[in-house]
Structures are given as C-alpha cells and as structure tokens.
Amino acid sequence: MQKLLQCIPNFSEGQRPEVIEQIADAVRAVEDVRLLGVSPNGDHNRTVLTFVGPPDAVAEAAFQATSKAVELIDMRMQKGEHPRIGAMDVVPFVPISGMTMADAVDVANAVGKRIAAELDVPVYLYAAAATTPARKRLPDVRHGQYEGLQESIALPERKPDFGEAKMHPTAGAIAVGARPPLIAFNVNLGTGNVAIAKTIAKGLRESSGGLMNVQALGVDLAEQGIVQVSMNLLDYTRTPIHRAYELVRIEAERHGVAVVGSEIVGLVPLDALLGVVDFYLRLSDFTRNQVLEARLLEG
Amino acid sequence: MQKLLQCIPNFSEGQRPEVIEQIADAVRAVEDVRLLGVSPNGDHNRTVLTFVGPPDAVAEAAFQATSKAVELIDMRMQKGEHPRIGAMDVVPFVPISGMTMADAVDVANAVGKRIAAELDVPVYLYAAAATTPARKRLPDVRHGQYEGLQESIALPERKPDFGEAKMHPTAGAIAVGARPPLIAFNVNLGTGNVAIAKTIAKGLRESSGGLMNVQALGVDLAEQGIVQVSMNLLDYTRTPIHRAYELVRIEAERHGVAVVGSEIVGLVPLDALLGVVDFYLRLSDFTRNQVLEARLLEG
C-alpha cells in the first residue's frame, strides 16, 4: 500500500500575507508534496498548513517550512490570541495510509532532531511521540508560552527532547509530534431541545464515561430549529465513525428523537470511510486496493 | 473534480503471451494512463485489459491498443469459446469521476471514428453510445460473430456506424461503446437453503420485476454452509449499492434469515462507496473533495 503521511504545522503569523506565502512556498517547493490548505487566522495571528505525501518528502517539507518560519518570524514582537511557544509553534505528523503510528513517531523524531541541530531551536516531542506522560497533551507542553518558557526551560522537567535548554532568541521553541487524523463529525437531531443534545454529548465523550477518543458537545442550531452533537473523533482506527454515529442514534431514540443528518467537516482519510462501508454492508475481504482511485495513487 | 475515464477493452488473443504483452505495452506507453489489469483467458482465447486516466489519454491508449491488436491478430485463424466479431472485439468506455455518460459517449464516437478512418475496421457503437435500440445490447451487435458478419454486414440494418460496410480481412469489426461501471456485489445469507437465495435473487433482478440495473442469481456456497445472492449492479448512479443490499436484507428477514456478510468483487469507483456512507450516516453537504486521497488525485 502507498505510504502517505500528513503534516499540519501551525506557525505564529496570521496577518502578513507575504510571510505566510513564503512559508507555504517552502512546502510547495518540495517534490511529491501536495499542499492542501493554507488557513490564516488574523486574530490568532497564526496560520495552519495542511500537506500530504510520501513520508520522506513530507519530513523535508516540514523542515523547510520550519526553517522559513524561524527566519521570518520574530517572537519578541509577536502578539495573538492563540497560545504559542515559537515561530513554528507545533508540527504534528499524521499517518494516513500504509504507515503505523510508530512510523509517524519515527518521522517526528528525525525532523525534531534536525530542527534542533540545524536551526538551533529547542524541540519538545508531544502526543504519540512524547517521551513522558507530562508531554502528551499540547497545552502542557505549551505551558507558560513563549514568554514564560524563557526561564522555565532551564528546569529539569522542561528540558527539551532535542537541542539545548535555551530558547532561540527570535524563534522560541517548537512542539513536534505524531497523532492520528482528527475527524470532525457532527450528528443532527430532529428536536429544538438543546438539552437532549447536551445529554447525549455527555454520554458520548470520553471525559464523562463515553467512548474513548471522542470529544463531544451539544450545540443549538437555532436557525435550522434543530440541535447537534458535535464531535471530534481523535482516533478513528480505534473508535470508528460508525460507532459514534450509532451510539448517538440509540441515545437519541431513548428521547424519542431521530437523527436527521450528519456532517463530516474538512478532510477525512479514505480508510475511515471504508470502515463505515465495511460496517453497514458487513463486507468481507474488501481491501483499499479495490477502490479505483486508491489504485491510481499507488506508486 | 478530476476527470477520470476507464476503458476495459477485450481482444481476441488469450494464449500467446508475446502478443498480449505487445498490446498491453501499447497502453502502458501512453502517458498518464494507468494499466490496472491484464486478464487473459486461454479457453476464451481472449484478454481483458483495464486502464484508467484522463479522457484524452485513455482515448489515445484505446486507439493504440486497437491498432496493435489489428496488426497482430488474424481472425481467419482465431478460435475460442467466447463470441467475438474482431481482433479488438469490444472497447467500452466507463466514466469514473468528473464525467457524465454523455462525455463517455463522445469519447466512444471520437475513438470509433478514428479506428474506422485510420485502421479500416468497421465500427459499431453499442450500449449508451448505440445509435439505434437494436445496438444497445452487445450480444445483438455480435450476432453471427466474425464469420457470420462477413455477409450480413452488407444488410442495411447491419451497416456500421463508422467505416464501410465491409469486414477488415484479418481484423473483422469492432464494437465501441460507453456504459456505467459494473459493480459485482454479493450478499451472503445465514442459511444452507439455496431456494431462499434463488427466491430473493428473483425478487431483486430487473428481469423479473425487481430493481432496475440489477442482475441477480441465487448461489449455493456449500463449502461454507451458506447461500449467496450474487449481483451485478449495472448502474450504481441510479441503483446504488445500499438499495440492493437493504432489499436483500429485508427479503431475507421475511424468511427468518440474516445477512452474514457481503463482498465487492474487483474494482469499485470511490463515488459508489461514498454513496453507501452517505446513506447510512445521512450525510449532508459531503463532497468527494473531502476525501484526502481524492484530493491527491486532483490535477
């Protein structure tokens, strides 16, 4: 199967188009990498890039984008609403096909090591690449932000995974990690009673005893006269789309409410959708290679 | 959306590997075309090629493969179990994505015209490209085969759509057409009673009052102790996979029998699977472009 890795770096510039474009161009310049999205946010003063390709090419593009961000962004002046520790703030690698999470962790390690060695920016490994439980969650890694980390980086528990325990003067520090693809999945319910959506969301989410790897909120879609269970599925390989959908459906039935629709927001890996087809059709022996378009992507 | 066209030509040589390879190589030589399958059948003395790509490239590859088959296959000697009218016997074009059936019919017309003009082989348009109802079905077009058509081609009703009413001395004639993708879809039932599968198949198929665009047979899978409703879905855009599946499931329930599995045999277009996801998750506003791998195929 073709190896595909995704990278979704976030850098600390969301206002100056010429800076954003130069960083995006660093990705575009790498052969075999496809830049699928450039999403600046002016208030956050932050931009999210989405690109995908073979692992070596994606690793190279992540490094080149980081190098350009380190060159162009001066954190001594940077202001924005979003928490951040550096010019290139966070670089997550996401296995899409033909790769395990361990493979993505290897890429995070290699890129993190190179960033520290060649750009003199201290690197924290996070999420699946974290070296201690305290670094699993990004908010913990970002604690104190660029300003606070100037001093706390010297503490033993804040020692970077790569590079010296010293902030880069203009570029700060960077979090590099590996995680599963996140799927934003919402289920709409045929009622105007948001309390029902909130109750179901509470039952669904990991934090209150529901499904692992699921975040869920009950939301009022007042304009449409319906409510929504809005979810993030953080690891569809272990907690697939259909399981979240069916659980919402069954919990809604308890309230005499029907599912009237659902939506997937943004990008979704093919394998996550094949899981849905597999479940409902009870497929046996179906492989990704039988999808004509997936065959076309094979090298 | 990216335009993808599939072509599944059948030529009248299934025994001599060196001839088969030369015809396959004619396809491989065309840039942007992906040859996905070469399936020779010795008894039929016939080979099926499967390839896909942008419409212009696929049209070129279909012509080049036909040209090579006309050059290398002498129908005066050819024997095999499968009905055929020519060296390159039949060339169907199948719209996969970003194309309508009318677009595929245009390609069939252009390629058919070129074959008649440059290779002196008379061309019949069939299936969605047919110019009269009598040429919709391939068996009707192939009536009398290579041998019988030598004389009957002179009849007004057998006049070719392109080229003179005269068989090519060694290559015969050719059927060129356009049709939707065929999906081979089987549903397994948890009973050893093949009569139930046969009854359900009869209820499912178009020919006995069931679903349009569905062929169905009841089959005994004695080794596994179960039975199967084996279907060809001839136009999933109008009669989608989930409709066939659900109808089998409901008819089986009537007999107290459960669906224990299903299988998709061979290749399936992504859009057909997205239809399944759409149905079961009640998706709204989902587009093919949200599938990461589909985005990668975009030009």
Q: Summarize pLDDT for B22-34 with one digit per residue, the tens.
A: 999 999 999 999 9
Q: Please write the tens of the pLDDT for every residue from A219-264.
A: 999 999 999 999 999 999 999 999 999 999 999 999 999 999 999 9
Mean pLDDT of chain A: 96
Other CB atoms within 10 Å distance of the CB of residue A83: 16
Beta bridge partners of A262: A187, B283
Q: What is the CA radius of gyration of chain B?
A: 21
* Interchain CB distance below 8 Å, A290 and B266: yes
B180-226 pLDDT, tens digit each? 999 999 999 999 999 999 999 999 999 999 999 999 999 999 999 99
pLDDT at B2: 83
* Closest in A274, A284, A295 to B36, CB measured: A295
Around A87, how many Cα atoms within 13 Å sit in the side-chain half-sphere? 28
Helix or strand run (H / E) with residue A123: strand A123-127
- Looking at chain A, the whole-number percentage of residues with pLDDT higher than 70 is 100
pLDDT digits (tens, 9 = 90+) for B113-155: 999 999 999 999 999 999 999 999 999 999 999 999 999 999 9
- Cα separation values, A100 from A3, A76, A271, A295, Å: 10, 38, 13, 20
Which of B44, B82, B143, B255 is an active site residue? B82
pLDDT > 80? residue A1: no
Helix (H) or strand (E) holding A117: helix A101-119
Taking contacts as CB-CB distances below 8 angstroms, the residues of chain A near B241 are: 281
Are B234 and B182 contacting, i.e. CB atoms less than 8 angstroms apart?
yes
Kindly report the average pLDDT of chain B as a whole number. Answer: 96
Helix (H, G, I), strand (E, B) or coil at A93: strand
Q: Which residues face A6 on adjacent strands?
A: A52, A94
**B281–A277 C-beta distance less than 8 A:** no
H-run or E-run covering A248 = helix A241-254
Report the greatest alpha carbon distance in chain A. Answer: 60
The pair of structure tokens assigned to B67 is 């040209």
pLDDT band at A299 (very low <50, low <70, confident <90, very high): low
Half-sphere exposure of A35 (CA within 13 A, CB side): 19
A95 to chain B: closest CA residue: B292
Whether B284 contacts chain A with CB within 8 A: yes
A262 touching B (Cβ < 8 Å): yes
* Partners of A168 in the β-ladder: A172
Please determine, for residue B176, whether its predicted confidence score (pLDDT) is greater than 80: yes
Q: Does A299 touch chain B (CB under 8 A)?
A: no
B253 close to A (CB below 8 A) = no
3-state secondary structure of B175: strand
- B274 at interface of A, judged by CB pairs closer than 8 A: yes
Query: Is the Cβ of A281 closer than 8 Å to some Cβ of chain B?
Result: yes
Closest CA of chain B from A245, distance in Å: 7
Record: contact A292-B268, CB cut-off 8 A: yes
Contact A262 B281 (CB under 8 A): yes
Interatomic CA distance for residues B194 and B199, integer angstroms = 9
d(CA A60, CA A202): 41
Tell me if A112 sits within 8 A of A176, measured CB to CB. Answer: yes
| Contact residues, A window 97-116, toward B, CB-based 8 Å cutoff | 97
Selection from B176, B31, B6 nearest residue B98 by Cα = B6
Q: Residue B250 has what pLDDT? A: 97
Q: What is the pLDDT of residues A75-94, one digit of tens each?
A: 999 998 899 999 999 999 99
Report whether pLDDT(B59) > 70. Answer: yes
pLDDT (tens digit per residue) in A98-149: 999 999 999 999 999 999 999 999 999 999 999 999 999 999 999 999 999 9
Contact call for A96 and B292, based on CB within 8 A: yes
Does residue B299 have a pLDDT over 70? Answer: no
**Active-site residue (options: A44, A82, A242, A255):** A82
Structure tokens given for B162 = 């392109």
Our answer to whether residue B168 is catalytic in this structure is no
Give me the pLDDT at residue B79, please.
Answer: 92
| pLDDT category of residue A3 using cuts at 50, 70 and 90 | very high
Whether A221 has its CB under 8 Å from any CB of chain B: the answer is no
Q: How confident is the model at residue B298 (pLDDT cuts 50, 70, 90)?
A: confident
- Closest listed residue to residue A229, CA positions, set A219, A214, A244, A239: A219
- CA-nearest of A94, A55, A244 to A181 is A94
Q: Do B280 and A276 touch (CB under 8 A)?
A: yes
CA-based nearest distance B95→chain A, Å? 12
Q: Are the CB atoms for B251 and B197 separated by under 8 Å?
A: no
